[in-house]
Structure 1
Amino acid sequence: MRIGDAWLVTVLTLLTLSIGGCSSRNTVTQLAGHPDNAAELLKTNQPFRNMYYGNIPYPANCEQDCYQPHPLLACEAPAEQCRYTGPQLIPELKSGFTVHWLGHASFSIETPDGQHVLLDPVTGQFDWPVSWAAHLTGIRQRSTTPEFSAEQLRRTDAVLYSHLHYDHFSIRDIKQIGTDAHYYLPYGMASYLPAGGYNATEMAWYSSAEQGKLTIHALPARHFNSRTLNDENRALWAGWLIEHGNRKLFFAGDTGYSQHFNDIRQKFGEIDICLLPIASYHGPNYRAVHMTPEDALMVASELGCKVMIPWGYGNASWQMGDHSSHSPVLRLLNMQQQLNSQVPLLILNEGDKVAL
């Protein structure tokens, strides 16, 4: 395993009990990076922090007419249950990556060396028990939710998770994927894996690991992490860069806008494929940790994205912080015009698969 600018801290073996009563080991490798005291923070139960925090000025803002109807978005109700009907202009990148958007933040990626990588795989809208609580409390459940075929699960070589929130990290789905895949997690998240012989690599920001002919980089995000009432920011959160030769695919994870995107550009150069979130920005302090569509357009420009694929909206989205299932897409299309954005934009419907 190659470690980019980081160094190998330690290899942990977590001893757990299987259902049958026999011991079963999860093998976890930890890679250091930023923050350089990540191991100490984890050991002393101190919280992690964003690289840039406080009030950060936004480079663009939609002030009015953000959600005008658009002729390329066919909806059953205003901005609800929609399908993008416009041309999907697929750039000839010849990157070797194939992107399959399953819904919300879940992607299946076929890589140039023939591997299959899952990003934030969560079937349904939430992992248990939030899915159960949402049902009991009457929170609206989408009729269409991400699903994975048995073939997708069987062929999975690697799984990358961005953080622990129940719409991004699913123990139920980890058990379905099984122990043949390798799991890449932000630093401190491996303790949340189920028992049973899983192989995982925990990574601090700007650490790197090799998976076949891929180099996987853990990168900063402006967000937060929690799974229970008393564990906020006790594990790191991250975006991911998958690199094959000189071709790069970036998955930002949940994130707000900040200087960290410029840092990524300075370190890695232009990005071929950028999977960027554009939803959940309404509400108190939501925009600090989620991007508006105009934030995402500016980020795509800053990163030199050769194509931007937005996510977070859709008929399978859980809609927290959004006016409707497709209001972020309406705002994206309107702001693309207002900003005269030259970023190549590829808007997918849930389930779409594109070779890039």
Structure 2
Amino acid sequence: MKLTFVLATTLLGSLMLLSACSTSNTVQQLNGIPDNAADIVKNKAYFQNMYRGDIPYPANCEQDCYLPHPLVECQTPAEQCRYTGAKASPELKTGFSVHWLGHASFSINTPDGQQLLLDPVTGQFDWPVNWAAHLFGTKARPTMPELSPEQLAATDAVLYSHLHYDHFSTRDIKLIGTSAHYYLPYGMAAYMPNGGYQVTEMAWYSSAQQGKLTIDAVPARHFNSRTLSDENQALWAGWLIQHGDKKLFFAGDTGYSQHFNDIRQRYGVIDICLLPIASYHGPNYRAVHMTPEDALMVAEELGCKVMIPWGYGNASWQMGDHSSHSPLLRLLHMQQRLNSKVPLLILNEGDSVVL
């Protein structure tokens, strides 16, 4: 009798657990550009970049792109480095604080007291690519700075830019849990784990309200996939976060194109720009990723009051780069060569700054 009771309660608990795990998510869809996004997802058709084909680049580094810099101290040339310069920035007084976790992952504290996570991916990749990378000997990133369970539980919203395994993590989603609201480009909700998550899918130039924040999905020049058979069946995006007249822009993975000028025309100058500067080597990489000089020119086009670069670092996995800090060395070199007036705020992984 006692054994039967134990078995029955165990089975009931298992069924309840399975039921909880299969709870459907709540998904809201916001329309924008392209205006037929719903049909593209329904018909398993393909999203496209707003500007396609060969696009002239505004600047190019042709030689001596990776000279040592006195403020970048490295254990070996361009590897295992630390930026030692001051974390000085303009007196913006935006109320935003930025914590760079590494690669494309950020924790943002907003002026209205919320905590947002941008592209949170701990470890090298999401499963199963992390396992495959280890199996086949791909150089693993050292552990990125992580948030504690208490910090994860305090998350109000999560914004993912696209599905690639170094930018979208079902493991991290499960760690963050269902208390946060998830903002995704159109078509990406199908890749969320079930469990009662609150999700808003957004086409380009659609807007959502999160507390006192306005969150806009904006174009990026990239591509999207999770498997070998679903390329570009979900949209990709950057994010613009506004509180009053203060703006923070996260570009996501993107190449250079006219879409940045479009963003400037629509939203005006941007206070804080989080721009990628890595993974631009190799066939076709630069079409969908920015070089450091591309990012500098984009920062000027957007009127960025401060630019925080990302994608380099000791925890980077170096696809399409010479070394962990070659993008940063190239950025500092090209800033001088181009006589760029864009204020740079250089962080090391794990650094936080109040702006």
TM-score range (shorter-chain normalised) is: over 0.9
Aligned partner letter, 2:198: N
- Residue 66 (structure 2) aligns with: 67
- Residue 306 (structure 2) aligns with: 307
Residue correspondence of structure 1 range 146-165 to structure 2 within 5 A: 146-165=145-164
Residue 152 of structure 1, CA deviation: 1.8
Aligned partner letter, 1:224: F
Q: Deviations over 1:210-229 (max 9, x none)?
A: 00000000000000000001
- Residue 337 (structure 1) aligns with: 336
Distance 1:302 1:107 in 2: 23
Residue 21 of structure 1, CA deviation: 3.4
1:326 paired to 2:325: yes
- Residue 11 (structure 2) aligns with: none
Residue correspondence of structure 1 range 17-166 to structure 2 within 5 A: 19-21=17-19, 24-166=23-165
Q: TM-score, normalised by structure 2?
A: 0.94
Q: Deviations over 1:112-160 (max 9, x none)?
A: 0000000000000100000000000000112232422222201100000
Distance 1:278 1:244 in 2: 26
Name the structure with the higher helix share: 2
Residue 108 of structure 1, CA deviation: 0.1
Q: Deviations over 1:16-69 (max 9, x none)?
A: x98423551200000000001111111111000000010000000001100001
Aligned partner letter, 2:61: C
Distance 2:344 2:86 in 1: 11
Distance 1:170 1:97 in 2: 25
Distance 2:70 2:305 in 1: 25
Q: Write out the 4+ residue segments of structure 1 that deviate beyond 4 Å after TM superposition.
A: none
Distance 2:79 2:94 in 1: 34
Q: What secondary structure sits across from 1:21 in the alignment?
A: helix
- Residue 246 (structure 2) aligns with: 247
Q: What secondary structure sits across from 2:201 in the alignment?
A: strand
Asked if the contact 1:210/1:216 (under 8 Å) is kept, the reply is yes
Distance 1:318 1:254 in 2: 15
Q: Percent identity?
A: 79
Residue 318 of structure 1, CA deviation: 0.8
Residue 260 of structure 1, CA deviation: 0.1
Distance 1:288 1:87 in 2: 33
Residues 21 and 282 of structure 1: CA distance in aligned 2, closer, same or farther (over 3 Å): same
Residue correspondence of structure 1 range 281-320 to structure 2 within 5 A: 281-320=280-319
- Residue 204 (structure 2) aligns with: 205
- Residue 3 (structure 1) aligns with: none
Q: What secondary structure sits across from 2:209 in the alignment?
A: strand
Aligned partner letter, 1:45: K
Structure 2 residue runs of 5 or longer lacking an equivalent are 1-14
Residue correspondence of structure 1 range 157-236 to structure 2 within 5 A: 157-236=156-235
Residues 171 and 102 of structure 1: CA distance in aligned 2, closer, same or farther (over 3 Å): same
Q: What secondary structure sits across from 2:125 in the alignment?
A: coil
Asked if the contact 1:122/1:146 (under 8 Å) is kept, the reply is no
Structure 1 residue runs of 5 or longer lacking an equivalent are 1-16
Distance 1:242 1:329 in 2: 25
Distance 2:258 2:212 in 1: 30
Residue 89 of structure 1, CA deviation: 1.3
Distance 2:52 2:206 in 1: 21
Q: Deviations over 1:50-103 (max 9, x none)?
A: 000100000000011000011100001100000001122121100000000000
Q: Deviations over 1:216-243 (max 9, x none)?
A: 0000000000000100000000000000
Larger Rg: 2
Q: What secondary structure sits across from 1:169 in the alignment?
A: coil
Q: Deviations over 1:270-304 (max 9, x none)?
A: 00000000000001000000000000000000000
Asked if the contact 2:122/2:143 (under 8 Å) is kept, the reply is no
Distance 1:246 1:355 in 2: 17
Aligned length: 340
- Residue 259 (structure 1) aligns with: 258
Asked if the contact 1:279/1:312 (under 8 Å) is kept, the reply is yes
Q: TM-score, normalised by structure 1?
A: 0.94
Answer with 212-221 or 37-46: which moved more: 37-46
Distance 2:122 2:320 in 1: 20
Aligned partner letter, 2:18: G
Q: What secondary structure sits across from 1:201 in the alignment?
A: strand
Aligned partner letter, 1:346: L
Aligned partner letter, 1:20: L
Q: What secondary structure sits across from 1:159 in the alignment?
A: strand
- Residue 5 (structure 1) aligns with: none
- Residue 276 (structure 2) aligns with: 277
Distance 2:316 2:16 in 1: 34
Distance 2:320 2:116 in 1: 28
- Residue 9 (structure 2) aligns with: none
